[in-house]
């Protein structure tokens, strides 16, 4: 792909993020979190945001090389401290109605070889400090989005057989494909796709299943759904009614499980990049909703640090359905980036539930959410468990089962 075409498609992608992902409103301010390697694209987003009528655009840059140096050289106590001026400032920004974008393209092996205690301490400290900020994302009061662009380390992980420039171009091509950037009218293509997802949402909300039964290689799991659960997919409305698209790309429909209603064993089917460490070949066993046993062929310490973050990280907070025959899965590429891999596979999330996936949940107190079966945690980490061998049945109110997925795809 020559540079001129690349620039054209990058411009289209940036505009899609601003106008469809964030649905940025006239006079609204935007906060962008970006890696230094994504700076050329982030600048395009900034320009598109101002052209869409943004009042202010703030960019918070992070440098993975500096992050690695800190983990190698800083004293242990550095990982139990977090700059509260940063978390409080971001919380205040969201309180004032700001929009948030994360350009998410981490190095999948950034922290390989770093002692797991340092990583888990830093993750928990940051999660505690940013609880206020994240509450705005969970309750759906603000527009926010995540999107990815190639970085040298990520492209090299996905396409190790290619030279750096070719790997980056190949990754750009895949990102453009799954985000429908090559379509003659990407916005119209997205509108058609979102309408298709909404039809699935409407069907599931009409079914009112009381549980889902999963069966597949290494998986035999029953997941109860709480009374009043609500399915979502594609674009979400804020509490003020502004629709936005939090994940680009997206192929999922999702809701929350009942915290204490998960029973059985589930096996991960794709590698999970958790805070710069790869977790592979892992399995979780649940009893009364709680993870009571787990294993991993690779990254067991990282998996342990995730599950042991707090009491809520021993439970699930999201159940998401994605057909095996989806645009991302059909590429046959493992992205080592959850934003993409979770949209190639059915997945579950360890940790916090989104209150808006429960009827009237955004107006409930923490105690009320607990009583209705919604999990609460500092963590929210999706992991992939779908495959061509996965079958799912929906359990109706009278206890009968009906096929929902067969051989990894929709059966309804």
Q: pLDDT tens digits for 8-59? A: 999 999 999 999 999 999 999 999 999 999 999 999 999 999 999 999 999 9
Domain ranges of the chain: 3-178, 208-410
Rounded to an integer, what distance in angstroms lies between the CA atom of residue 273 and that of residue 342? 11
Where does residue 236 fall: left (phi above 0), alpha (psi -120 to 50 degrees), or beta otherwise? beta
Residue closest to 255 by CA, chosen among 206, 192, 321, 299: 321
Residue closest to 397 by CA, chosen among 220, 210, 231, 240: 210
Q: What is the dihedral of CA 227, 248, 215, 358, to 10 degrees?
A: -10
Rounded to an integer, what distance in angstroms lies between the CA atom of residue 274 and that of residue 296? 13
For residue 292, name the pLDDT band (cuts at 50, 70, 90).
very high
| Superfamily of domain 3-178 in the CATH hierarchy | Thermophilic metalloprotease (M29) (3.40.1830.10)
SS3 content of the chain, % helix, strand, coil (to 5): 40, 25, 35
Give how far Cα 347 sits from Cα of 31, 231, 251, 370, 403, Å.
Answer: 28, 14, 11, 23, 18
Q: pLDDT tens digits for 299-314? A: 999 999 999 999 999 9
pLDDT of residue 140: 87
pLDDT of residue 187: 87
Q: Give me the residues paired with residue 61 across strands.
A: 34
Q: pLDDT tens digits for 365-394? A: 999 999 999 999 999 999 999 999 999 999
pLDDT of residue 126: 95
Contact between 345 and 270 (Cβ < 8 Å) = yes
What order do you get walking across the sheet with 409-410 strand by strand?
A: 290-295, 283-287, 262-267, 219-224, 211-216, 391-395, 401-406, 409-410
């Amino acid at each position: 792909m020559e540079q001129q075409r690349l620039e054209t498609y990058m411009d289209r992608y940036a505009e899609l993020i601003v106008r469809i992902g964030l649905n940025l409103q006239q006079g609204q301010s935007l906060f962008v979190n970006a890696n230094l390697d994504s700076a050329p694209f982030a600048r395009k987003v900034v320009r598109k945001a101002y052209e869409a009528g943004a009042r202010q655009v703030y960019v918070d840059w992070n440098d993975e090389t500096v992050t690695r140096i800190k983990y190698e050289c800083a004293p242990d106590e550095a990982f139990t401290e977090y700059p509260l001026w940063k978390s409080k400032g971001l919380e205040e920004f969201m309180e004032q109605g700001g929009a948030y974008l994360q350009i998410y393209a981490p190095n999948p092996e950034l922290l390989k070889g770093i002692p797991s205690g340092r990583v888990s301490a830093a993750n928990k400290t940051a999660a505690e400090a940013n609880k206020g900020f994240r509450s705005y994302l969970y309750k759906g009061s603000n527009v926010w989005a995540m999107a990815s662009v190639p970085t040298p380390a990520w492209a090299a992980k996905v396409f190790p057989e290619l030279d750096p420039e070719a790997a980056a171009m190949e990754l750009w091509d895949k990102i453009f494909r799954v985000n429908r950037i090559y379509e003659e009218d990407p916005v119209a293509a997205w509108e058609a796709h979102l309408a298709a997802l909404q039809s699935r949402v409407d069907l599931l909300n009409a079914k009112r299943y009381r549980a889902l039964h999963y069966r597949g290689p290494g998986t035999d799991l029953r997941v109860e759904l709480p009374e009043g659960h609500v399915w979502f997919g594609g674009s979400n409305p804020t509490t003020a009614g502004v629709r936005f698209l939090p994940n680009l790309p997206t192929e999922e429909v999702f809701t929350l499980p009942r915290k204490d209603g998960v029973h059985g064993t589930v096996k991960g089917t794709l590698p999970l990049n958790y805070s710069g460490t790869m977790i592979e070949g892992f399995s979780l066993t649940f009893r009364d909703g709680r993870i009571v046993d787990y294993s991993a062929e690779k990254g067991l310490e990282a998996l342990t640090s995730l599950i042991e973050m707090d009491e809520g990280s021993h439970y699930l907070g999201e159940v998401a359905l994605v057909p095996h025959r989806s645009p991302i899965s059909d590429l046959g590429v493992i992205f080592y980036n959850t934003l993409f891999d979770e949209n190639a596979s059915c997945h579950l999330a360890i940790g916090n539930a989104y209150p808006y996936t429960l009827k009237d949940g955004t107006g409930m107190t923490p105690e009320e959410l607990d009583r209705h079966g919604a999990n609460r945690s500092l963590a929210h980490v999706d992991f992939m468990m779908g495959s061509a061998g996965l079958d799912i049945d929906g359990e109706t109110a009278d206890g009968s089962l009906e096929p929902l997925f067969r051989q990894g795809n929709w059966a309804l």
